[in-house]
Amino acid sequence: VIAGDGIGREILPAATHLLDSVSTHHGFKLRYQRYPWGCDYYKEVGSMMPADGLGQLAASDAILLGAVGAPDVPDHISLWGLLIPIRRGFEQYVNLRPVRRLEGVGGPLAARGDAIDFVIVRENCEGEYSQVGGRMYSGTDQEVAVQSALFSRLGIKRIVDYAVDLAQSRRGGLVSATKSNGIFHSMPFWDEVCRETCAARGMEVSLRHVDALAADLVLRPANFDVIVASNLFGDILSDLGAALTGSIGLAPSANLNPSGAHPSMFEPIHGSAPDIAGRGIANPTGQIWAASMMLDHLGEPEAGEELLGAVEATLAESGVRTPDLGGTASTAEYVKAVEERLHERRRGESHQRQAQ
Ligand SMILES: NC(=O)c1ccc[n+]([C@@H]2O[C@H](COP(=O)([O-])OP(=O)(O)OC[C@H]3O[C@@H](n4cnc5c(N)ncnc54)[C@H](O)[C@@H]3O)[C@@H](O)[C@H]2O)c1
């Protein structure tokens, strides 16, 4: 467990509290190892995590993360010092980001009532997020920066394969985000490997330029099922998707190592939200949903479903909302409402059993 910074420290305890409740009910126990890594650790020690940080995490079955980032630490230091080394070191090459409108949540498209239920499969280990490049002539008028994006056949093929599997288990629609008109080398390569991989799997894929795709996600979100995208495009599209469903505070993500060779990591998609940190008003839904995805991954899908179901029921039935969704509830009040839904459901189950 890495709570990290800002609201990460408020929403992560909320998730572990609820995890304890569902695991007890389902007859298993989670043991947490808590790591104090993040920006405060950096300010004290000079690094975001210890040099053997990955070694310490390696024995875990899964990693649950809050959020990382602080206004007085440059973002490239915090991201490249903790999150990216974990994603890459543990080959978590799939960043799975479900985007679903939850009943009872408005959002900017509420008046139109579109059904929104798609998944973004974001490539998580290469692409535009690379350290390759450099700066020269610093501080002069001739200063230049060069940033290289890295795309490999292996990297593209494995993420597309994952997206095909997922699309085949869902409604079967696969869209790939590209920009092969403007990006001369890497995106035509992405398209080529994507087409080949899909053809070999008998899967139809629609290649869409990411700018037009972004517009279409706003205009016709119900048309989308699975979207496979590079690291940068997937990152941007998933914030857009979360905003369409009502708040960035709702959206979860799973950084998966599909082979199981290393632990996978589960976190909300948002950052540390310094603008609201410390006020106890953060929406913990994305974090709780990420915890539910972790339970699925750990082989406890019924517990995961119960946890997410309680969140959905809270939003659909209770009217308890954090301020990002137009409500006045604190994080603690919202978590209490979720816990009440868990108890209600259990009472319902036990009445059903007695009636049988
Ligand atoms: N995975 C991560 O840990 C991650 C992801 C994105 C940004 N960051 C870092 O977080 C810091 C802040 O970044 P940012 O402001 O661009 O993005 P952010 O996601 O932290 O916040 C964007 C906006 O959304 C709101 N918001 C986010 N999560 C919320 C929640 N759970 N409940 C209610 N409102 C919520 C914030 O108040 C803010 O107005 C930066 O240091 C950035 O690098 C970290």
Ligand 1 atom, smallest distance to 285 CA: 31
Instruction: Please list every protein residue whose CB sits less than 6 Å from any atom of ligand 1.
Output: 7, 67-69, 75, 78-79, 83, 248-249, 267, 270-276, 282-283, 286, 324
Q: Give 41 Cα–ligand 1 centroid separation in angstroms.
A: 19
Contact 231, 267 (CB under 8 A): no
Query: Which DSSP category does 178 fall into?
Result: E
Active site residue 161: no
Q: What is the DSSP string of 315-351?
A: IIII----GGGT----HHHHHHHHHHHHHHHHHHHHH
State the catalytic residue, choosing from 40, 117, 161, 239: 239
Q: 323: CA distance to ligand 1 center in Å? A: 15
The reply to whether 129 belongs to the active site is no
Residues whose CB is less than 8 angstroms from the CB of residue 197 and which lie 6 or more positions away in sequence, other chains included: 156, 157, 160, 161, 164
Q: What is the pLDDT along the chain (356 residues), one digit of tens a residue?
A: 999 999 999 999 999 999 999 999 999 999 999 999 999 999 999 999 999 999 999 999 999 999 999 999 999 999 999 999 999 999 999 999 999 999 999 888 888 888 899 999 999 999 999 999 999 999 999 999 999 999 999 999 999 999 999 999 998 899 999 999 999 999 999 999 999 999 999 999 999 999 999 999 999 999 999 999 999 999 999 999 999 999 999 999 999 999 999 999 999 999 999 999 999 999 999 999 999 999 999 999 999 999 999 999 999 999 999 999 999 999 999 999 999 999 998 888 777 777 77
